């Protein structure tokens, strides 16, 4: 309905066909439609920053950029795009012989089923998967790169998560690759320090979120 005025959208909802097929729509007015679009927008998820200090480089504080992981989880759960692909309870899939257990989603795992049985009625488990990917921001001008941390809910069917266009993966944090310009390390020590820095940022992103 891009480019249509609110009045024209309302006329669509006044059509006889629309009234007889209201069960196919999740909104019945232009106002409700716009409210739903507002909820789907990511602008409410703000980026935050924190400083990471390394003992071996006290004069070169590093900045970690991250989003609140709880906000990201709530956004994914509340996104109606994933309603039919969201699994709120674990299942057990067996072959016809009733003995061979088939594993294909995380919700089919033994541990997930075991943990679910220990929860009070009405509660469920949310599984969060994190991954780290290095992205080059510039080439031939400093070769600046950043390690991006992504997250997704394992409650969303894997067939949906595999499609990047579905938007099931969300960026959780950005870890810049530090050059430590003021601090000199032996080659091995610098590599270890850089690795420790990346790990510290990764852990901090999870804790802060």
CA neighbor of 151 nearest in space, from 129, 177, 132, 135: 129
Q: In what order do the strands lie in the sheet with 128-136?
A: 48-54, 57-66, 170-176, 145-153, 128-136
Q: Which residues of 159-168 are buried (b: 16+ CB within 10 A; e: fewer)?
A: ebbeeeebbb
Residue 116 has a pLDDT of 92
pTM: 0.65
- Count other C-beta atoms under 10 Å from residue 116's C-beta: 16
Residue 154 has a pLDDT of 92
Each residue's pLDDT tens digit, 159-175: 888 887 888 899 898 87
Residue 1 has a pLDDT of 47
Q: What is d(CA 123, CA 126) in angstroms, rounded to the nearest whole number?
A: 10
Each residue's pLDDT tens digit, 27-40: 777 788 777 776 66
Token digits for 162? 């595999």
Residue 83 has a pLDDT of 87
Average the pLDDT over 201-205 and give the result: 54
Helix runs in 21-129, H state only: 30-40, 69-78, 110-117
Q: How far lies 84's CA from each of 3, 55, 192, in Å?
A: 29, 49, 45
């Amino acid at each position: 309905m891009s480019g249509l005025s609110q009045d024209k959208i309302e006329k669509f909802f006044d059509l006889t066909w629309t009234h007889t097929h209201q069960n196919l729509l999740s909104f019945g007015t232009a106002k409700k439609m716009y409210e739903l679009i507002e909820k789907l927008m990511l602008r409410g998820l703000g980026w935050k920053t924190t400083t990471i200090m390394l003992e071996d480089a006290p004069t070169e504080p590093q900045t970690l950029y991250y989003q609140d992981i709880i906000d990201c989880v709530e956004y994914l759960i509340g996104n109606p795009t994933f309603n039919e692909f969201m699994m709120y309870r674990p299942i057990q899939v067996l072959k016809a012989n009733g003995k061979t257990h088939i594993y294909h989603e995380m919700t089919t795992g033994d541990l997930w089923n075991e943990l679910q049985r220990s929860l009070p009625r009405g509660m469920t488990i949310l599984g969060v998967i994190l991954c780290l990917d290095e992205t080059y921001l510039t080439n031939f001008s400093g070769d600046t790169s950043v390690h991006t941390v992504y997250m997704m809910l394992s409650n969303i069917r894997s067939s949906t998560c595999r499609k990047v266009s579905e938007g099931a993966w969300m960026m959780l944090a950005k870890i810049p690759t530090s050059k430590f310009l003021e601090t000199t390390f032996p080659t091995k020590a610098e590599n270890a320090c850089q690795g420790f820095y990346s790990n510290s940022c990764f852990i901090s992103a999870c804790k802060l979120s």
